[in-house]
A and B are shown apart, each in its own frame.
Chain A
Amino acid sequence: MTPVFSFLEQHLELTYIVILSIFLGVEVISRVPSVLHTPLMSGANAIHGVVIIGAIIVMGQASEENYLALILGFLAVILGTVNVVGGFVVTDRMLEMFKSKKSK
């Protein structure tokens, strides 16, 4: 267990972020009307596309001769971008539909 504790101590700020974010996520979502469940899921789906930042860092640090890292990193950047862009656009389209339905 000691390595885990020393790791947490070294990354105390990140640990705080994790714990507070957990409560925040729960708090932000509770009491949401069920019509919004699917757009909310889709919006959250787009937000976890932040993983693209990791892909960019991986790609940007890969050395020029390391073809495996380059190819996998490139693939990761593409997949991550599809997640982000597609996620936000799909959510917007869902909400657009939702709005026009309501105004009728």
Chain B
Amino acid sequence: MRMTPTLVVLVAALALCRCAREESPVPGPREAAARAGLSSHDEHAPHDAHAPHDAPEAELAALTAAAESGDVDAQVSLGRRYLSGSARLPADVGQARAWFLRAEAARPGSAAYDLGRMSQSGKGGPADPVEAVRWFELAASAGSADAMFLLAGAARSGTGLPRDDARAIALYQRAAAMEHPEALQALALAYLHGELGLTIDEAESRRYMAAAGHALQHHHR
């Protein structure tokens, strides 16, 4: 779902009215996990695809204010802005990492996925696959289907942890259970070609691929 602009507007609105924010407290890890689980693609960069449309100054200021005052969702949002960069807010991996760490400290699981990606691809420091795995594990425990998907990728390729096909399958299945389209596709492909220790099963492959296609409709339409 394209939640980032809505989230940003919501955050801005909350920042401008503290009392409203207190009445609707920032959800705890479990709710965030459930939300993340059910709409896992909210964490997905595609929703940052709207950021390049350069939101007005006021909106960015409101986001920054909210982040500075401790709003965890705003902190993560701002971190992503710094990571991708735009004309209004040039990329700054140091700032990105700082905001992610702050969010993560305030609410474990809120930024672990983003920190994992930075570690994995060597943003703001040398690539550290082991640390990436640690972050993804935290995020996966908090219910992030996107993190489960990347962690499964690490497990199947033995990157940052010993290769473990069974663990990859289990992670894909957990993410698939949350309708994560790419995890569903990974399973479809694994059943088609007998990957990761699975027995070839064309019917299961078709079922997963159908589910992947359908999951994409839910997340993008």
Whether both chains belong to one complex is answered with no
Please give the residue numbers on chain A whose beta carbons come within 8 Å of chain B beta carbons, in ascending order.
none
User: B residues engaging A (CB < 8 A)?
Assistant: none
